[in-house]
Amino acid sequence: MRCSVTISVNGRPYHQEVEPRLLLVHFLRDAGLTGTKIGCDTSQCGACTVLLDGVSLKSCTTLAVQADGASVTTIEGLAVNGELTALQDAFWASHGLQCGFCTPGMVFAAHEILRSNPRPSPEEIRHGLEGNMCRCTGYQNIVKAVQTAAADPRMAQTGARR
């Protein structure tokens, strides 16, 4: 059985006939948006985190059919013409990534922290990152990146939306 879905990803509609069991993360990756990563099979690692209608979500916990009609933002949808958003730039400035595999998910976890709390304390940031795993950085520079982004006036202007 196949179901027809339309999901807007990074502002572009994707019409697909999909199996009902297809995970959103596979939908995205099959559409060529491979920036979203898969790091586990138990929804622990958070590498697949994206925005669904503006709210962060592990895209391995959602079926593509559940996202029918929704808007998804993936890591490819942030920078415009290579110009990084304030949040991406903060990760760069803070050395908040090494191998980069967890990074797309981390960026959206960070986005969610700042969306719900524009001035988080380091403890609040660490708590907000607990659903995302990184094996390279020890998290410290990711915490720093979120703090750096929080202090960046661009965050207030463009909002965490972009």
Among 9, 48, 78, 114, the residue binding other proteins under the rule CB under 8 A is 78
Query: What's the farthest any 2 CA atoms get from each other in the chain?
Result: 50
Among 54, 65, 136, 154, the residue binding other proteins under the rule CB under 8 A is 136
Helix, strand and coil content of the chain, in percent to the nearest 5, comes to 35, 20, 45
Among 67, 86, 134, 149, the residue binding other proteins under the rule CB under 8 A is 134
Q: Is 148 in the site for other proteins (CB under 8 A)?
A: no
Report the nearest approach of other proteins to the CB of residue 133 (Å): 6
**Residue list 88-107, contact with other proteins (CB under 8 A):** 88, 91-93, 95, 97-104, 107
Query: Is beta strand 49-52 parallel, antiparallel or unpaired with respect to 12-18?
Result: unpaired
- With the CA atoms of 63, 72, 42 and 45 taken in that order, what torsion angle do they form, in degrees rounded to the nearest 10? 180
Contact 46, 37 (CB under 8 A): no
Report the nearest approach of other proteins to the CB of residue 132 (Å): 8
- Count residues binding other proteins (CB under 8 A): 58
Position 75, amino acid: I
For residue 132, how far is the Cα from the chain centroid?
A: 10
3-state secondary structure of 34: coil
Candidate ranges 1-9, 61-69, 87-95, 154-162; the one touching other proteins (CB under 8 A): 87-95
Report the nearest approach of other proteins to the CB of residue 118 (Å): 19
Cα(47)–Cα(58) distance, rounded to whole angstroms? 8
Contact 11, 1 (CB under 8 A): no
Among 11, 41, 153, 157, the residue binding other proteins under the rule CB under 8 A is 41
Question: Could you list the residues that contact other proteins (CB under 8 A)?
Answer: 19, 21-22, 26, 29, 32-42, 44-45, 47, 74-76, 78-79, 82, 84, 88, 91-93, 95, 97-104, 107, 122, 125-127, 129-130, 132-143
